[in-house]
Structures are given as C-alpha cells and as structure tokens.
Amino acid sequence: MQFSDITGLDDVKSALLQSVRNSHIAHAQLFLGSEGSGALALALAYAQYINCQQPTANDSCGHCSSCSKYEKLIHPDLHCIFPTTTTKKFKKSSEAISGNYMPQWRAFIQENHYPILSDWAAFIGAENKQCNISKEESRNIIKALSLKSFEANYKVMLVWLPEWMHPFAANAILKILEEPPPNTVFLMVSYNSDQLLSTIISRLQLIYVPSFNDTEIVSYLQSEMTLPADKAQQLAFLSEGNLNKAVKLSEGSALTHADFFKQWMRVCFKMDFTNMLQFAEQFYSMSKEEQKSLLFYGLHIMRETTLWKYGAQNLIRVQEDERNFIGNFSNVFDAAQIEMLSREFNNSLKWLERNSNPKILFTNLSIFIIKLFKVD
C-alpha cells in the first residue's frame, strides 16, 4: 500500500513523512482511528515507506523488491497479528492464530483498505463468532521478533485491533513492546483505545487518524465506486466519516435498516403485537453484526432527532424521506424520552455483545418503546 492509494488524510500523511525525514521512527506506535477510518491503510503505507529502497519525499516507490513484497503482504519481515476464531477450516482453538489465516488476511486486505472486524469475521466464515487475539499469539509475536531480520531496513510487527487481545497476551508482550530488538517497529492499529490496557497505551506513540471528511468520501465514492456526484454527496452525509459504511451504503446493503427501523417504530406506535413478534423473528434471523448495525442506525436517528428538536434542521445529515420521518419522530417524543430511548439502545448493544438472546432483547426493547409511546 502506498500513501497515494489512500484517499485524503493529507495532514497525517505529511506528519508521518516528516517524522521519517527527521529520523524519528518510534519503535512502538499506535494508529488510532474509528471504524472505517484510514488507520490500517496508513500503518501499512508507512511500513512500506520505511522499508522502500527508493523512496521519494512523499511516498514509497511502489516497484522495488521490498515494495512489491509489501504490496502483496508477503514480505518476510512483515508480521501481522489480528483477531481470529475457530472456523470450519481451523476447528481447534490452538489453530485459531494469525499465521494460519495469513493467506485469507492478504486477500481480505487487498480488497478492503478500510476494513472492520465484522467484515473480516464474515470473510473467514465466522459471522456470529467473536474474534480475538489469543494467548498463543503473544508467544508467536516474541518468537517472530527474536528471529534475525531477513532483508529489510525494519522488521515490522503489525497488530490490527489490539483491543481484542486476551489480557494474558497483552501482558506477555509488555516487555518486548518497551524494548523491542534493534530495527523492529511495532505498529498497532486500534479503533477503540478505551478497551486497551493503559500499560500498553503508555508504551506507544500515538498517531491520531481523523475520520474522513465529506469531501474525501465523495471523492472516493466517485472515483472508486463510480457514483454520480449527488448520490456520493448524500452517502457521505449518511456515513459520518466512515468510509467502510459509505461503501456498504453505495452497494445498497445498509439502506434496508432505514426501512426496518421505520416499520418497526410504526408497529410499536400502533401496539401491533402480532407484527412486533414477526419483527423479533426477523431480528433474530440477522447476523449479530447486522443486529448491532440496526441498533446503531436507531441511535443515529435519535441523534438527528435531538438536533431537530434544538432547531438545527439544517445540520441534519439525512435524505429527504428520512428527514420527514425524523420530523414525525420529534413530534411524538420529547427530549427526555429520546434520551431514555438512546440509553436503552446503548444498553441493548452491550447486552448483544454479551450474547443475550436477541429475540428476548428485541422484544423487551419493543415493549420499552411501546410504553414510551403510551406516555403521551
């Protein structure tokens, strides 16, 4: 991956290039961004840059022997660690390690420059399972770094989503993170630093990767997804800086949430219990990631409704039909009720993470909403 392959983010790119120019290559760095940000892509472009044999001032050359191996993620001095789980192919938990999934990881990253964990889980056929970085991986990290570097300037240990690391593994790598062997660079890429151990964070130099702005998303959707300008603009509004989401919206896979949510609210409003149970069945049949994403959509609607209530109609980042729905929604609920509803959606998300039964969870949430409608 070259810096030029990544849309926008000029400030972070130039800060990274500047640090290399000043020979400040920290031995442990944390690329911190949110889901759908360029954090992983930047870490990969940076790793390729510091190992390129003929770098220019702004980018790696893209064709030296190091770059060609980096482009395919097959460089012997690039080690990647990422969350995994057991699958049909690797049934034992001891087999659920990054090394075994490396061929799939390469294929996945080449197609997804802005990946999220649920996409990766789906890619390896583990949609409803929680992936993590197991205890065993810490041993693999230490082992890989104890080997002499083959050919590169820097041996790179890339850890994608260290927040999913088993605490045992996280503790086991503290020492090597603090004092890695010479010419070794740890690049961690996280979407949620709140879940990282403070002892890990304190050992890392932070590189904050901002979410994409609307112009960057529009430009990506136009050039990579060949969307017309107005459509790209609409989706940029909806995706709130998350390029992964923008791409899914452009493929039409995320828009159904809007319909589901609207119909579900209508059913609750009418206290139509028969249909409510049918919705619970539908919710149950979705993958865990779809269920979460639906609840996130609900939270998005509530945020926009709050804005609407405070008279910030022009700040609302939605399409015309959604705008009407939000207008109605804000007529039915007052600000305090919207807050209660948001809290309940957030709680449901937590319970989903802890593997609550989705049907019961959805039914309880529906009853909560019905009661809220009845208050008026």
Residue 61 or 102: which CB sits closer to Zn ion? 61
**Could you tell me the sign of the dihedral formed by the alpha carbons of 338, 342, 343, 348, in that order?**
positive
In angstroms, what is the minimal distance from the CB of 63 to Zn ion? Answer: 6
209 within 8 A of 33, measured Cβ to Cβ? yes
Residue 35 or 59: which CB sits closer to Zn ion? 59
In angstroms, what is the minimal distance from the CB of 60 to Zn ion? Answer: 5
Residue 60 or 234: which CB sits closer to Zn ion? 60
In angstroms, what is the minimal distance from the CB of 153 to Zn ion? Answer: 11
Nearest-5° angle of CA 315, CA 321, CA 325? 75
- Residues near 12 by beta carbon (within 8 Å), at least 6 away in sequence: 38, 42, 207, 208, 209, 210
Shortest CA distance to 332 belongs to which of 358, 365, 369? 369
- Distance in angstroms (rounded) separating the CA atoms of residues 161 and 190: 5
Residue 64 or 225: which CB sits closer to Zn ion? 64
144 within 8 A of 79, measured Cβ to Cβ? yes
Query: What are the start-end ranges of the H helices in 225-287?
Result: 229-239, 243-250, 256-269, 273-285
Residue 13 or 203: which CB sits closer to Zn ion? 13
In angstroms, what is the minimal distance from the CB of 202 to Zn ion? Answer: 33
Specify the DSSP element, H or E, that contains 60.
Answer: none
In angstroms, what is the minimal distance from the CB of 115 to Zn ion? Answer: 24
- Distance in angstroms (rounded) separating the CA atoms of residues 270 and 373: 9
* Tally of helices (H runs) and strands (E runs) in the chain: 18, 5
SS3 assignment, position 271: coil
Residue 47 or 267: which CB sits closer to Zn ion? 47
Residue 61 or 340: which CB sits closer to Zn ion? 61
Residue 69 or 245: which CB sits closer to Zn ion? 69
In angstroms, what is the minimal distance from the CB of 187 to Zn ion? Answer: 18
In angstroms, what is the minimal distance from the CB of 14 to Zn ion? Answer: 19
In angstroms, what is the minimal distance from the CB of 17 to Zn ion? Answer: 14
Shortest CA distance to 276 belongs to which of 332, 352, 359? 359
207 within 8 A of 29, measured Cβ to Cβ? yes
- Distance in angstroms (rounded) separating the CA atoms of residues 100 and 244: 26
Residues engaged in binding Zn ion (CB under 5 A)? 52, 60-61, 64, 67
